[in-house]
Amino acid sequence: MSALPEVRRADKLMPEEETLAFLAEGYCGRLGTVGADGQPYVTPLLYVVMDGEIWVHNAIEAGHLRANVLANPRVCFEVDDAGPVFAYGRFECDTSVAYRSAVAFGRVRIVTDRAAKERFCHQLMAKYGPPDTGRPEGFFPRLAGICVYAINVERLTGKKTPLPSVSEQFPALDRSKSPEARAPGLPQR
């Protein structure tokens, strides 16, 4: 794997335990792959964290995702939870969003073991399946029709920007990143 740059905004880093918990509870992730021609491709997927890896699936028929994985097993997986947008300063560019995110870098493999695929489906239904549907649990007649992928995480980072209290937002507090700027036509502060 190529050397990854250090995290630029260390002030936003989440502790490892918090990042792992957020990754496990996240709703939908995006899997970034790169094709043989160097073209990136991102796929939104439901997922589970199982055995210390990130597991996803899609159709067994070969498509864009599978072609990329076979060409280059290096991947990036991202999960986020966006919150409200808020102003922190007097100019429009002084705007941010409350969020949490986790980004995993690693290598992906195709899981062919039937028992492992079945265990993945059990975990996926435990996370996403509606309760008490009356459907037979643990019966996956289309297991042969899905391709399961497991991502071995080599690096994981989590970041967050919590929503500031109203007293920490503009106009109560002006934290403009351009304090000396003067907008034309506005009174001086």
Half-sphere exposure of 134 (CA within 13 A, CB side): 0
Which residues, in sequence order, are CB contacts of 122 under 8 Å at separation 6+?
138
Q: What is the pLDDT of residue 1?
A: 36
Q: What is the dihedral of CA 14, 15, 20, 22, to 10 degrees?
A: -40
CA distance 5 to 12: 16
pLDDT tens profile 131-174:
877 788 778 888 889 999 999 999 999 999 999 999 999 999 99
Question: Can you give the pLDDT of all 189 residues of the chain as single tens digits?
Answer: 345 567 788 888 899 999 999 999 999 999 999 999 999 999 999 999 999 999 999 999 989 999 999 999 999 999 999 999 999 998 999 999 999 999 999 999 999 999 999 999 999 999 998 887 778 877 888 888 999 999 999 999 999 999 999 999 999 999 988 888 887 876 655
Q: What is the pLDDT of residue 131?
A: 80
Smallest CA-to-CA distance from 34 within 74, 80, 87 is with: 74
Model's pTM, two decimal places? 0.87
Residue with token string 């597991």: 55
Helices marked H in 26-108:
64-71
Give the H or E element holding residue 42.
strand 40-46
- Rounded to 5 degrees, what are φ and ψ at 56? -140, 170
Residue with token string 């210390």: 52
Q: What is the CA radius of gyration of the chain?
A: 21
Q: What is the pLDDT of residue 188?
A: 59
User: In the 8-state DSSP scheme, what is residue 39?
Assistant: -
CA distance 176 to 170: 9
Tell me if 94 sits within 8 A of 170, measured CB to CB.
yes
